[in-house]
Amino acid sequence: MLSYDSPISVNGQKPPSAPVVMAAPRQSMPSAPRPAPRAPAPAPALSNGALTNGATSTRSSSSHATEHHIWLVTGPAGCGKSTVAKYLANSLHLPYIEGDEFHPQSNIDKMSAGIPLTDADRWDWLTALREASIRELDRGNNGAVLTCSALKRKYRDVIRVAPYFMPNLHLHFIYLDASEEMLLQRVMMRQNHYMGANMVHSQFDILEPPTADEVDVIRIDVSRPADVVMAESLDQVLKTMDRIQEASNNKK
Ligand SMILES: Nc1ncnc2c1ncn2[C@@H]1O[C@H](COP(=O)(O)OP(=O)(O)OP(=O)(O)O)[C@@H](O)[C@H]1O
Ligand SMILES: O=C(O)[C@H](O)[C@@H](O)[C@H](O)[C@H](O)CO
Express each pLDDT in 94-145 by its tens digit: 999 999 999 999 999 999 999 999 999 999 999 999 999 999 999 999 999 9
Q: Is 125 a member of any domain?
A: yes
Closest listed ligand to the CA of 148: 2
Q: For ligand 2, is residue 88 a contact (CB within 6 Å)? A: no
Specify whether the CB–CB gap between 20 and 8 falls below 8 A: yes
Q: For ligand 2, is residue 195 a contact (CB within 6 Å)? A: yes
Spatial distance between the Cα atoms of 126 and 146, rounded to a whole number of angstroms: 11
251 CA to middle of ligand 1, Å? 40
Q: What is the residue range of 161's domain?
A: 68-251
Query: When comparing pLDDT for 142 and 166, which is higher?
Result: 142
Q: Is 121 a member of any domain?
A: yes
pLDDT in tens, 219-250: 999 999 999 999 999 999 999 999 999 998 89
The partner residues of 173 in beta bridges, in order of sequence, read 72, 217
The ipTM assigned to this model is: 0.97
Q: Is 51 a member of any domain?
A: no
Q: Is 93 a member of any domain?
A: yes
What single letter denotes the amino acid at residue 81?
Answer: K
Spatial distance between the Cα atoms of 158 and 187, rounded to a whole number of angstroms: 27
Q: Is 136 a member of any domain?
A: yes
Pairing of strands 143-147, 169-177: unpaired
Q: Is 4 a member of any domain?
A: no
- Domain count of the chain? 1
Judged by average pLDDT, the poorest of 28-32, 165-169, 224-228 is 28-32
Q: What is the pLDDT averaged over residues 163-178?
A: 92
Closest listed ligand to the CA of 190: 1
Q: For ligand 2, is residue 151 a contact (CB within 6 Å)? A: yes
Nearest atom of ligand 1 to the alpha carbon of 176? 21
Question: Residue 240 is part of a domain; what is its CATH number?
Answer: 3.40.50.300
Q: Is 50 a member of any domain?
A: no
Is pLDDT at 87 greater than 90 in this prediction?
A: yes
Task: Find, among 190, 136, 159, the residue nearest to 73 by Cα.
Answer: 159
